[in-house]
């Protein structure tokens, strides 16, 4: 039987070098700003599950993974193999998943849903983009256009569409900026 060692949360430090509480031992879990993504070298007996990330335009990813973190309306939801079945709405945000070799991947997703069983997970979303596919200048222009549209007087439906465009452009820029300033390191649990 595998016994989980004591787990602790670190205190966030702006440089990303977060400190553990005094006297803490066992596994280092990053602070809330740097979400914990389990790695195979930390948990050697981790099981994989099948993951599909699908949008109307394409299949972004299909394959095995160790862990998955998706944005939902009230925070982030972590998923690992053997989880109880679940269906949840996902919000615009950042999806993080760990491949069996320990590589971490990130993508920006627009609203959709995640369907999880004990052996697989499927994300159906309006769009899924890798950080390198996001053009920062185009997203900045879209953000500015949406911001100007929100300031104008318009019908409620148009206002909601402008809000959605603003949120999507903002999310894509956030994912792009985070990937440039804080790249994912497969040898470290901190993002």
Q: What is the pLDDT of residue 121?
A: 94
Whether 64 and 109 share a structural domain:
yes
185 DSSP 8-state letter = -
Give the CATH number for residue 80.
2.60.15.10
Decide: 19 and 11 in contact? Cβ < 8 Å: yes
Domain around 3: 1-34
Whether 18 and 52 share a structural domain:
no
Whether 149 and 95 share a structural domain:
no
User: Which candidate, 135, 72, 61, places its Cα nearest to that of 105?
Assistant: 61
Whether 69 and 143 share a structural domain:
no
191 falls within a domain: no
Whether 124 and 139 share a structural domain:
no
Q: How many domains does the chain have?
A: 3
**Cα distance between residue 16 and residue 3, in whole Å:** 29
Rounded to 5°, angle at Cα 161 from 155 and 162: 90
Q: What is the pLDDT along the chain (191 residues), one digit of tens a residue?
A: 444 443 434 444 444 444 444 444 434 444 445 555 555 455 556 788 999 999 999 999 999 999 999 999 888 899 988 888 999 999 888 999 999 988 888 999 988 999 999 889 999 999 898 888 888 888 888 888 888 887 887 788 887 887 778 888 888 778 888 777 755 543 333 33
Q: What is the pLDDT of residue 89?
A: 93
Whether 75 and 100 share a structural domain:
yes
- pTM, to two decimals: 0.64
């Amino acid at each position: 039987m595998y016994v989980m060692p004591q787990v602790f949360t670190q205190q966030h430090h702006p440089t990303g070098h977060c400190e553990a509480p005094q006297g803490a031992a066992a596994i280092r879990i990053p602070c809330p700003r740097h979400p914990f993504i389990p790695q195979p070298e930390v948990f050697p007996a981790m099981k994989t599950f099948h993951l599909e990330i699908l949008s109307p335009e394409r299949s972004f990813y299909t394959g095995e993974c160790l862990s998955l973190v998706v944005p939902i309306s009230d925070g982030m939801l972590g998923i690992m193999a053997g989880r109880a079945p679940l269906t949840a709405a996902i919000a615009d945000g950042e999806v993080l998943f760990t491949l069996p070799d320990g590589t971490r991947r990130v993508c920006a997703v627009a609203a959709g849903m995640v369907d999880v069983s004990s052996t697989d997970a499927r994300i159906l979303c309006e769009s899924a983009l890798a950080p390198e596919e996001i053009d920062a200048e185009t997203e900045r222009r879209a953000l500015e256009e949406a911001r100007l549209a929100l300031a104008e007087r318009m019908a409620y439906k148009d206002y909601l569409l402008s809000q959605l465009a603003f949120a999507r452009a903002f999310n894509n820029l956030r994912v792009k900026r985070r990937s440039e300033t804080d790249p994912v390191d497969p040898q470290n649990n901190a993002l």
